Amino acid sequence: MDASRSGQEAAAGGRWGALGLVLAGGVSVQFGGAIAVSVMPKAGALGIVTLRLAFAALVLMIVCRPKVRGHSRADWGTVVAFGVAMAGMNGLFYQSVARIPMGPAVTLEVLGPLALSVFASRRALNLVWAGLALCGVFLLGGGGGFSGLDPVGVAYALGAGAMWATYIVFSARTGRRFPQADGLALAMVVAALLFLPLSLIESGDKLVRPEVLGLGAAVAVMSSVLPYTLELIALRRLPASTFAIMMSLEPAIAAVAGFLVLNQALSVNEALAISLVIAASIGAVRTQIGRGPARRSGDVVASGATPDAVLAPAETVEEPVPEASGK
């Protein structure tokens, strides 16, 4: 009995510890994003995206050491599409947060994966969650339109959400074709190379200034390397469904990061809107879980991609590896 009780207590402690890791990963992602916004005047939005992707690619290539031989043309097509989706998601998101506060930007971006979840599900209840999310969008626009937010920033955030949904699909496909995180490392290189010419045009020699390089490395570690590592460890102890619900809190964490780092205060309507979208995301996850047995830890999840990564309509594999945080 004592041994059994000790085992249960250890398991519970492990779950709480894993939840702490997921929360720490979310905090790292969003505060890394807030630091990136503060660096934009020095390096430009495209420059900071390039630095983040380049440093993250360098770390992943060193750690994973992916094989570049022995892959089919279809394999390379998939990893390139994954890299394009990653580049688009990051580029559009940072263009958005250069124009609108982080909390609303992440909330609008989450609508992409949420829409993917709703469209992939055949349950009528998900229409309720979609309606709840739309109510949040309505409030986010001040109760009618987006007069309170830069419309260009809103468009970028919605575009980032569409690319996030695409990222989720190709994340799963890449995970089926490449072992471990090899596909992720190669896709990160593709994304960095895509942005390099654009950032050179926008920022030029600003990118090689020591303070800019240092801050870019910090953003890469906080927004990609550290959260990926924490979430990978956490997913060994948590069901993917629990992980997904925890990831639903990212818009709220983004709002806190924006307030603390960038002095971006939220109005009452914006705070309520974020709460509605979070509730819709959690509801969509729980509805999808109700369709069958809960997925075990280690099932396909796009780490850092909100709960809807779990609900992506791509097939799963027996031993998938979670992908790195998208933003």
- How does pLDDT run across 47-59, given as a tens digit for each residue? 888 888 999 899 9
278-290: average pLDDT: 74
Residue 95 to residue 101: CA distance in whole angstroms: 11
CA distance 126 to 289: 12
Q: Residues 160-181: what's their mean pLDDT?
A: 86
Look at residues 105, 232, 118 and name the one whose alpha carbon lies nearest to residue 156: 105
CB atoms within 10 A of CB 212: 20
- Output 228 or 259, whichever has higher pLDDT: 259
What is the pLDDT, as a whole number, of residue 297?
Answer: 32
Contact (CB, 8 A) for 159 and 307? no
Pull the structure tokens for residue 83: 């890299």
| pLDDT over threshold 50, residue 305 | no
* pLDDT on residue 175: 81
| Contact status, residue 39 vs residue 216, Cβ threshold 8 Å | yes
Give the tens place of pLDDT for each residue, 103-149: 889 888 888 888 877 777 667 777 788 888 878 877 776 655 555 78
b/e per residue 163-183 (b: at least 16 CB within 10 A): bbbbbbbbbbbbbbbbeebbb
Say what the pLDDT of residue 316 is. Answer: 34
For residues 199 and 188, give the distance between their C-alpha atoms in angstroms, rounded to a whole number. 16
CB of 105 closer than 8 Å to CB of 96: yes
Bridge partners of 302? Answer: 323
Sign of CA pseudo-dihedral 29, 281, 132, 93: positive
List residues bridging with 323 in a β-sheet. 302
pLDDT tops 80 at residue 307: no
Q: Which residues contact 152 (CB under 8 A, 6 or more apart)?
A: 99
Cα(61)–Cα(81) distance, integer angstroms = 18
Phi and psi of 302, rounded to 5°?
-90, 100
Looking at every residue in the chain, the average pLDDT score rounds to 77
For residues 198 and 46, the answer to whether their CB atoms sit within 8 Å is: yes
Whether the predicted pLDDT of 81 surpasses 90: yes
* Res 244 pLDDT > 90: no
Residue 140 makes CB contacts below 8 A (sequence gap 6+) with 104, 107, 108, 146, 149, 269, 270, 273, 274
- Residue-by-residue DSSP string for 258-305: HHHHH--PPPHHHHHHHHHHHHHHHHHHHHHHTTSSPPPTTS--BTTS
Give the residue, 325 or 151, on which the prediction is more confident.
151
- Identify the pLDDT of residue 291: 54
Q: What percent of the chain has pLDDT over 70?
A: 78
Q: Rounded to whole angstroms, what are the CA distances from 193 to 42, 50, 65?
A: 21, 8, 18
What distance in Å separates the CA atoms of residue 61 and residue 65, rounded to the nearest whole number? 5
pLDDT confidence bin for 158, thresholds 50/70/90: very high
Out of 71-80, 178-187, 280-289, 298-307, which region has the weakest mean confidence (pLDDT)? 298-307
Q: What is the pTM of this model?
A: 0.76
Predicted confidence at residue 137, as pLDDT, reads 77
